[in-house]
Each structure stands twice: as C-alpha cells, then as structure tokens.
C-alpha cells in the first residue's frame, strides 16, 4: 500500500484554512503554520463556514513558525505573495529530498523565483478559483466556488507522481482539483480575470458588479483581458478570445465581489501588484510585447499603495 | 482711426472674469454674460484678486442671457465645454457679419463642431495658460501665469485681421497674448499637460505635486504625454520630445495644484472628458492611431463621473 503524503500548510487564511482544512477533515496528515492568532487556533482549532456545509476541526497540528515544524512531502504555500521574499528561509526546515512546494498563490513568475532561490527543489503552482476569506484566526468563510488547478514548473526536479497524489488527496477530500500540463498557461488564464478586476476595484474603490454595470469600465475590463491574452501569447500561451467572453459572463453571475487586492487595499496591507501586474508586464516585455493598458493600471496601483505604505 | 472692437464674454468665471476684466479695465468695450449670481455682479461689479495686482470694476456691462445682448465683433466663449451643446443657440443673438467667435476652452474639435453648427461663422480657439478660479459671483482669484495663445480654425471664413486686433487689445491690457498659426498644434500642445494631470488627479483624488513625487505616477505622466505626442503626430502636428521634458519640469515648479477637472470632480460637476480625452482619442483613431494609456484613463474617468451624475 502506498504511503500517505504528509502536508504542511504555510499560512492559515482564506486559502490555507480552507484547502488544508478540507484535507485534514478527510484524515490527511496536515500541519498548519499559523502566524497570527496562533494561541487561539492551537486551543480552538479550525472552523470553516462553507457554502458546501460548515465543519469544525477542534484540534489541528499547528506551529507558529516553520522552524518548529518537521520536513514534509508537500508544502502548500498559501501566503500572500507580498511575503514571498521571506519564503526561501521559511521553507528550508520543511524540505527533504523530493519535497514538492506548491504555491497556491496569484500571479506570475513566483515559481521561477523560488526555484532560483532554492535550486533542486521541486516547485509547482496552483490557482484557486474560490471566494473565501478569513473572518478571524482559525475561522474561514467560504462563499462560492472552490476548485483548484495545479501544474509543475517547467524543468522542475522530477517530483515523481507527487502532484498527481496531491490532486487525488484533494479530490478525495471534496475539493475539485485537477492537474494541468502547463504552469504558464494556468497562471495567464487566471490573470485574465485578476488583471482587470483586482486593479479596477482598487483604483475606483468599487466592486465587480459596479464595474460590469458601467459601460465605460465594462469595456475597459474587456480591453484589459484582451491585452492579457496578448501578453500570454507573447509568452507562448494561447488563450482564445472566447475565454474573455466566458470570464465577462462569469463575472456577471458573481455576487457583488471585492477581489483579494481590494480587501488588502481596504485593510491597508501591501497589494499583490508585483505578481499580478509587474511580473506579467516584465515577462511580456522580455518578449517584446508592450501592454499599455495594464501598465497604466499598474502605475496607478503603486500610487495608491504608496499613499498608505509611506504613511505607516 | 480704426474702430474699436466690441466684445462679449460668455461665462464670467475663472477665465472670462479675468480676461474680460483685464480688457474692461483697459477701457475696452466688453459686455459680460453672467449666468450665476447675476444680481450680485450687476450691483457690485467685478473684483479680480491677482498675483499681478488686485483690481475692482465697480460697474460692468452685463446681462444674464445672451438674448438680452447686442451683436458684437468678438465673442470670447469662456464656458466649460460641458455646456457646448447649448453654444450655437447662445451665440446667435451676438453674431453679425464677420463676428469672430473665440473658444477660450480646453480640448479638441470644439471649433470644428461649432463651425459645423453655425456655417459661415468665423471661429478661433484660444488656450489659456493660467491658474485662476471663481471665488464667488464676480470675484475671481488669479494665482499664477496668465498668457493666452490663439489661432484661427483652418478654413474658417475670413476673419480679416480681427484676431490680430484681439491679441493687440489683450496685450495692451496687460495680458501676454499671441497669435499662433495652427489651431490643431495649439490644442494638442495644451493637451500634453491636460491629459496626464486632469485625469490622474481625479482618478487618484490627489494633486499635481503628489503625482510628480511618486515615481510610478511620474513615469505614467510622462508616458501619457508621449502618447499625446503620438496622437498629435497622427493628426499632422509635430511636437518634439523636449516639450515633454519641459512640461514635466514646469509641473515640478508649480504650487500643489488641482486642475480644473479635479475642481469639477470635487464639486460633482460634469467633467470635460469629451474635449480632453474622447475627442483626441477619436481624432487619432480616425488616423489609425490607438492611444491605449489615454483610453484607459478616459474609461476610468467616465466611471468616476457616472458615479455622481447618476446619483443626481
């Protein structure tokens, strides 16, 4: 019989709390790193209020720092990418030969950056299609969707069949999880939604439904999606224009929604501008492709962020 | 001896109050149309607080409506372009053979639109380089600069030497006024400043100095200027890149400033999006040139405006 995988979840928030919680509920070996509110979570465990049914895990294996944790087979990194500078150091105590690190994050090029910082480590990326947020330490609210797509970084050290097993474990835990062949394609497809809505909801201090209702911003959302397709194409990822129509229609069906960047902005936290804007712009520009509308939004976002980060 | 020109000033605000006031102070025949606060201005006249020296005109010739006024030689239109739909009707009572209408306004294509609405009328445009605003009816504050450049619309009916005389009258009144050979060049040059700063101060709810201080928006300001040069070039107007550097340096020297569009936004008045953004975009696009960064700003501005105009 095959050995069960051991998991570490870094960051027990909207994503880590949900996906890690689902795996733990299903009996998988999951250890959580909980930075904020560690004492509470240690004592009270995890509570996931979910549109698919609430559940409570009264006791979970958790530590405040990764240096207190053991090496594992799989690390699910569920931190904001704004903390990625610290990631190599945080990961080191968790790594053994063949550990697979999965970045359950938004944005482009972070897998490449991590792989460069930790040569020899197997790296994958995952895009979560989910509406969820952290209500309080150990208390996650999952409002809508929930599926997750994963892909190995190109030329990553052979991670064997681990990623397949991760997908199987998630599926067995009640999460729709699928493995994709191409990480760049996975990342760019997610950007088609993230680029227009994250930035516009922040710059205009509004929500997705209002953007969709106003003809000016509805057309700009579409333009930004089409520019994202250009960037993807420059990087060798082909996405059809029908995908743009699908994303617009999908957004129309959503409840009025504040994307994660808008939540960060409202809370005056650093925003994921690098992964969602600067890195895609850089990747496209390296292939000679300019994305001027996305660049405009990126510039405006840095101004918005500098306004409050300089204050603090 | 040459007959003195008669003037009508439509709109006695930041521009009409200042330029009309300067002409009237110098003894020129100027009649003012005062829409808001007419009774006050009729009784108390005009007060110009100016960085070049304050002055008061206790009595000015004024009417509330142009239909109460006589035809004149020169009409200085000093209204916001957001009221330009009403302009042909407003102008009719003031026109005789050879009346010259000068649009002292911001933005592109309004002279062409007026000429199409009033065929046979001589039309010119003027760009005012001035920091001024209306404090109250008949009370204008002039903070900085003040020169004005004028040019005839191409193929406008022969306005004889009237425009020369207008410039001479203004110069004799203490205003630095010059005639330029090319209206399109005059308009596009002014847009090089107006396009970045009007839009960005509104979208980011900030002022010019903060835009210049942040490297992200400083570079975006430059990019928007360079895109404006592309649009100008498509329309046959050549502006050198040194002009961009000059405008950036000029803005660095300015006191923290809220451009007119920002004042309109703060007061929840309609903004001059059409003249400063949509018409230049249209003119460039007709020549096959796309201006994506300017388009992005235009879309964001319409959203901002729709938020409060829909409310009212």
Residues of A labelled as active-site residues? 190
Looking from the CA of B250 toward its CB, the CA atoms found within 13 Å total 17
Model confidence pLDDT, tens digit, residues A258-310 = 888 999 999 999 999 999 999 999 999 999 999 999 999 999 999 999 999 97
Reported as type and span, the H/E element at residue A283 is helix A279-286
Cβ-based contacts of B302 with chain A (< 8 Å)? 214-217
Would you give the distance in Å from CA A1 to the centre of its chain? 33
What average pLDDT score do residues B298-309 get?
97
pLDDT at site A93: 98
Q: Do B293 and A295 touch (CB under 8 A)?
A: yes
pLDDT at site B1: 47
Q: Which two tokens stand for residue A87?
A: 């990631």
Q: Do B203 and A300 touch (CB under 8 A)?
A: yes
SS3 state at B128:
strand
Question: How many CB pairs (< 8 A) connect A and B?
Answer: 81
Cβ-based contacts of A223 with chain B (< 8 Å)? 292, 295-296, 299
Q: Nearest Cβ partner of A217 from B217, B297, B299?
A: B299
Quick one: pLDDT band at residue A133, thresholds 50, 70, 90?
Answer: confident
Q: Do A306 and B223 touch (CB under 8 A)?
A: no
CA distance A225 to chain B (A): 13
pLDDT at site B171: 98
- Neighbour tally for A144: CB within 10 Å: 14
Q: Do B206 and A302 touch (CB under 8 A)?
A: no
pLDDT at site A168: 96
What residue in B sits closest to A299 (Cα-Cα)?
A: B216
Would you give the distance in Å from CA B33 to the centre of its chain? 17
What average pLDDT score do residues B156-180 get?
92
Quick one: pLDDT band at residue B211, thresholds 50, 70, 90?
Answer: very high
Q: Nearest Cβ partner of B299 from A216, A295, A303?
A: A216
Largest CA distance in chain A: 59
The CA-CA-CA angle for residues B141, B142, B145, to 5°, reads 165
What average pLDDT score do residues B90-115 get?
97
Quick one: pLDDT band at residue A167, thresholds 50, 70, 90?
Answer: very high
What average pLDDT score do residues B26-44 get?
97
Model confidence pLDDT, tens digit, residues B234-280 = 999 999 999 999 999 999 998 787 888 999 999 999 999 999 999 99
Cβ-based contacts of B217 with chain A (< 8 Å)? 299-300, 302-303
Q: Do B214 and A304 touch (CB under 8 A)?
A: no
Residues of B labelled as active-site residues? 190
Report helix, strand and coil shares of chain B as percent, to nearest 5. 50, 20, 30
Quick one: pLDDT band at residue B46, thresholds 50, 70, 90?
Answer: very high
- Neighbour tally for A262: CB within 10 Å: 23
**Spatial CA neighbour of B96 closest among B63, B70, B119:** B70
Across B168-307, the runs of DSSP E, i.e. the strands, are 177-179
What average pLDDT score do residues B5-24 get?
97
Cβ-based contacts of A217 with chain B (< 8 Å)? 299-300, 302-303
Question: What are φ and ψ of residue B61, in 5° steps?
Answer: -75, 115
Q: Do A216 and B293 touch (CB under 8 A)?
A: no
Quick one: pLDDT band at residue B155, thresholds 50, 70, 90?
Answer: confident
Instruction: Using a pLDDT cut of 70, give the percent of chain A over it.
Output: 98
Is residue B304 over pLDDT 80? yes
Reported as type and span, the H/E element at residue A152 is strand A139-152
Residues of A in CB contact (< 8 Å) with B are: 200, 203-204, 206, 211, 214-217, 219-220, 223, 227, 292-293, 295-304, 306-307
Residues of B in CB contact (< 8 Å) with A are: 200, 203-204, 206, 211, 214-217, 219-220, 223, 227, 292-293, 295-304, 306
Are the beta carbons of B90 and B116 closer than 8 angstroms?
no
A183/A127 Cα distance (integer angstroms): 10
Q: Do A306 and B216 touch (CB under 8 A)?
A: yes
Q: Which two tokens stand for residue B297?
A: 């700003």
pLDDT at site B170: 98
Q: Which two tokens stand for residue B126?
A: 């003027």
- Quickly count helices (H) and strands (E) in chain B: 13, 10
Q: Which two tokens stand for residue B181?
A: 């050979």
Residue with tokens 């009309």: B20
Instruction: Using a pLDDT cut of 70, give the percent of chain B over it.
Output: 98
Model confidence pLDDT, tens digit, residues A213-257 = 999 999 999 999 999 999 999 999 999 999 999 999 999 998 787
* DSSP per-residue letters across B39-64: HHHHHH-EEEEETT--EEES--EEES
Cβ-based contacts of B284 with chain A (< 8 Å)? none
Is residue A1 over pLDDT 80? no
What average pLDDT score do residues A104-130 get?
96
- Neighbour tally for A41: CB within 10 Å: 22
B160: left (phi over 0), alpha (psi -120 to 50) or beta: left
Lowest mean pLDDT among A248-262, B141-155, B177-191: A248-262
A282/A270 Cα distance (integer angstroms): 20
What average pLDDT score do residues A201-210 get?
97
Q: Which two tokens stand for residue B138?
A: 């008949």
B21/B24 Cα distance (integer angstroms): 5
Lowest mean pLDDT among A262-276, A298-312, B36-50, B163-177: A298-312
**Residue spans of alpha helices (H) in chain A:** 21-25, 38-44, 87-91, 110-117, 162-172, 183-203, 208-213, 215-234, 241-253, 260-266, 273, 279-286, 292-309
């Amino acid at each position: 019989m095959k050995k069960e995988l051991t998991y570490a979840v870094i960051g027990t928030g909207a994503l880590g709390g949900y996906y890690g919680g689902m795996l733990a509920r299903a009996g998988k070996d999951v250890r959580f790193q909980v930075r904020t509110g560690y004492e509470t979570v240690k004592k009270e465990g995890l509570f996931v209020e979910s549109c698919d049914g609430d559940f409570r895990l009264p006791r979970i294996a958790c530590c405040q720092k990764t240096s207190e944790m053991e090496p594992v087979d799989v690390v699910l990194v569920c931190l904001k990418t704004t903390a990625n500078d610290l990631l190599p150091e945080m990961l080191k105590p968790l790594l053994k030969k063949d550990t697979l690190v999965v970045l359950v994050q938004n944005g482009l090029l972070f897998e490449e950056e991590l792989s460069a910082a930790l040569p020899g480590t197997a790296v994958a990326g995952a895009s979560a299609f989910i509406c969820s947020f952290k209500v309080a330490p150990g208390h996650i609210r999952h409002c809508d969707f929930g599926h997750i797509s994963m892909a190995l970084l190109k030329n990553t050290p052979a991670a064997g069949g681990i990623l397949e097993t991760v997908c199987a474990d998630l599926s067995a835990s009640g999460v729709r999880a699928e493995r994709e062949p191409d990480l760049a394609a996975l990342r760019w497809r997610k950007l088609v939604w993230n680029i227009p809505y994250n930035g516009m909801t922040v710059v205009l201090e509004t929500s997705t439904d209002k953007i969709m209702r106003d003809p000016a911003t509805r057309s700009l959302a579409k333009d930004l999606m089409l520019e994202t397709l250009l960037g993807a194409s420059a990087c060798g990822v082909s996405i059809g224009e029908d995908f743009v129509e699908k994303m617009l229609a999908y957004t129309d069906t959503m409840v009025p929604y504040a994307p994660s960047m808008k939540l960060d902005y409202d809370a005056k936290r650093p925003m994921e501008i690098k992964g969602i804007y600067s890195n895609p712009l850089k990747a496209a520009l390296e292939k000679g492709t300019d994305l001027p509308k996305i660049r405009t939004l990126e510039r405006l976002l840095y101004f918005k962020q500098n306004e409050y980060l300089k204050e603090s």
